[in-house]
Amino acid sequence: MDERPIGIFDTGVGGLTVVSEVMKALPGERIIYFGDTARVPYGSKSKETITKFSLQLVNFLISRGVKAIIVACNTISSNSFGELSRVVKIPMTEVVRPGVAACSAATRNKVIGVIGTEATVRSGLYEKYLKESVPGATVYSKACPLFVPLVEEGWTRNSVARETAGIYLGELLELGIDSLLLGCTHYPVMIDCIKEVVGDVTVVNPAEAVARGMKTLLRENGLESGLERTEDHTFYVSDNTPKFDGTCEAVLGRKFGAVKVDIEREE
Ligand code: DGL
């Protein structure tokens, strides 16, 4: 039994979509979350910068005594997970593999769309793993850089969100995809809008599979908390706490009151 918290982090509010599933799958686990709201988006940054920033975030979580970490960001998972794994000595999971597994199970015609940030698409990782997992698959990847600022702004259902989604996703629909993998943890915040645009295409949100993966990892490592339920969670951000708190409430259904941290001074 181990009551230390799980660390979950993202570049902003996106990782809250993973937190939401972790709270459902692992109600007895305490969570420490970090959202790097001062430096979001990472998706338009270089691999070197993404790695440098994300190392600061994992070091912060480790300094707070977490027992395991979820990299709740596709951009970091697809660009920097290897580098992070070299320095992190506790169990750590990412979001790309669970998303690939969920999408492989969902597709019927093997024509798959993946949407993510520019850096995630540039990594080519989803395409590689999906083609390994679904032999004969055709994978179309599309960067949707405007989705992240829309979600950070809380514009997830208005006409701007719908029009933006229509422009980005229209192209994939014409290519005959039957499933659409949300390869960015911010995107499930606007899943209703995305579903409206893609109609009967299956929209795959990897968050549930990510939470299940963490459950297995904790069990395999003897790190389960043993508590039946806890509300003892802490949220840290690097900037703009009130806006984060609003999104947090919308995604998790209750207020938590994030604490602001100067991440660059933490080291
Ligand atoms: N939520 C992050 C992801 O899953 C990306 C947001 C960003 O560009 O910082 O890729």
Q: How far is the CA of 234 from the centre of ligand 1 (A)?
A: 21
Q: Which of 4-8, 97-101, 173-177, 252-256 has the lowest mean pLDDT?
A: 252-256
Tell me the best of 18, 34, 42 to mutate to test the pocket of ligand 1, counting ligand atoms within 8 Å of each CB and taking the most. Answer: 42
77 lines ligand 1 (CB under 6 A): no
CA neighbours closer than 13 Å in the CB half-sphere of residue 218: 28
Chain segment 25-39, per-residue pLDDT in tens = 999 999 999 999 999
Q: How far apart are CA 223 and CA 244, in angstroms?
A: 30
193 counts as catalytic? no
Beta-carbon contacts of 132 under 8 Å, excluding residues fewer than 6 positions away, are: none
- Asked whether the predicted pLDDT for residue 267 surpasses 70, the reply is no
What is the per-residue pLDDT for 173?
97
Q: Who wins on pLDDT, 201 or 153?
A: 201
**Three-class SS of residue 32?**
strand
Maximum CA extent, the chain: 51
Q: Choose, from 73, 103, 144, 193, the residue flagged as catalytic.
A: 73
**Nearest one of 142, 141, 153, 156 to 187, comparing CA atoms:** 156
Closest ligand 1 atom to the C-alpha of 75? 10
Beta-carbon contacts of 24 under 8 Å, excluding residues fewer than 6 positions away, are: 211
75 lines ligand 1 (CB under 6 A): yes
What is the per-residue pLDDT for 208?
97
What is the per-residue pLDDT for 183?
98
What percent of the chain is modeled with pLDDT above 90? 94
CA neighbours closer than 13 Å in the CB half-sphere of residue 146: 12
Closest ligand 1 atom to the C-alpha of 95? 4
Closest ligand 1 atom to the C-alpha of 186? 1
40 lines ligand 1 (CB under 6 A): yes
Q: Name the residue with the closest Cα to ligand 1, atom 2.
A: 73
**Nearest one of 24, 23, 61, 73 to 233, comparing CA atoms:** 23
Q: How far is the CA of 95 from the centre of ligand 1 (A)?
A: 11
What is the per-residue pLDDT for 18?
98
What is the per-residue pLDDT for 189?
94
- How far is residue 266 from each of residues 36, 53, 57, 60, 226, measured CA to CA in Å? 13, 12, 9, 7, 31
Beta-carbon contacts of 59 under 8 Å, excluding residues fewer than 6 positions away, are: 87, 266, 267
Chain segment 57-87, per-residue pLDDT in tens = 999 999 999 999 999 999 999 999 999 999 9
184 counts as catalytic? yes
Alpha helical stretches, state H, the chain: 16-25, 47-63, 74-87, 96-106, 118-123, 125-133, 147-153, 159-174, 191-198, 207-220, 241-252
Chain segment 176-232, per-residue pLDDT in tens = 999 999 999 999 999 999 999 999 999 999 999 999 999 999 999 999 998 999 999
What is the per-residue pLDDT for 219?
97
Place of tokens 């580098």: 83
Q: How far apart are CA 169 and CA 231, in angstroms?
A: 38
- Asked whether the predicted pLDDT for residue 106 surpasses 80, the reply is yes
What's the order of all strands across the beta sheet hosting 111-116?
Answer: 138-143, 111-116, 179-183, 202-204
- Asked whether the predicted pLDDT for residue 152 surpasses 90, the reply is no
